[in-house]
Amino acid sequence: MVGLWRCTLAVMLTCVYLWGSGDAVGGAKSRPRPQKRPPKKPKITPIDLTEPAQNIDIERMLGRWYLLNSASKCSYLINHGTKVEPTVMTITRTPTSNEMLSVSTKTRHNHQCWEILQVYHLNPGTPGRLTLKAHPEDNIEIVIGETDYDSYAIMYYQKRGMITVKLYGRFLNNLSEPLLTKFEELAAKQNFQRAYHFPFPTYSMSNIILIR
């Protein structure tokens, strides 16, 4: 009987040994699959945190606007900010679509008039947000931040994460002290100190005749 138990124990130990050897020799153990990385959170840019004015009425934004001041870290303005010329923006409806605006921007260079024609696409879900489309990385996102439609509009423009704040007026030399203070406060929220403010020259009648 004792011999039988010894034989049975020997067989069991042999099976355990062979099982362990087969597991090691027959092939490597399967490695755990690498876990998928969580998707990257979308990058938040300054324009995403800038809310448009409530209940924007695009129809009341149509017409002529004179550029009065700009806050930006654009290299061109930093290098040529003292040489900026009067600039007039005219907004109209496009004849082919209610979801786009035609924008004409006129300025002077070497005593000649230059006109830039662009199309702004409206954001149907968020009135007051617009896009000037190019290659996706070069799109310009636009927000109408504040306006009373009749005298001033403060607009934000962002390209490649760099934002610019612009102050427009409906009338010539329509830059009152309270309006300038409002613009400076909003520009400061975008980290623009006064060194990055670029006032545009006074609009004389000769300037307006030249760029009309």
DSSP letters along 100-111, please?
A: EEEEEEEEEETT
What amino acid is encoded at 157 in this protein?
Y
pTM of the model: 0.77
Q: Taking the CB of residue 157, how many other CB atoms lie within 10 A of it?
A: 19
Q: Provide, rounded to the nearest whole percent, the portion of the chain with pLDDT above 70.
A: 79
Helix segments in the chain, DSSP class H: 2-25, 58-61, 75-80, 177-189, 205-211
Of 130, 160, 132, nearest to 143 by C-alpha is: 130
Across the strands, what pairs with 65? 89
Reported CATH class of domain 46-211: mainly beta
Q: Where are the domains of the chain?
A: 46-211
- Range 144-154 average pLDDT: 97
Report which listed range, 31-35, 116-120, 123-127, is most confident: 116-120
d(CA 164, CA 162): 7
16-53 pLDDT, tens digit per residue, is: 343 344 444 455 556 667 777 777 777 788 899 999 99
162-178 pLDDT, tens digit per residue, is: 999 999 999 887 688 99
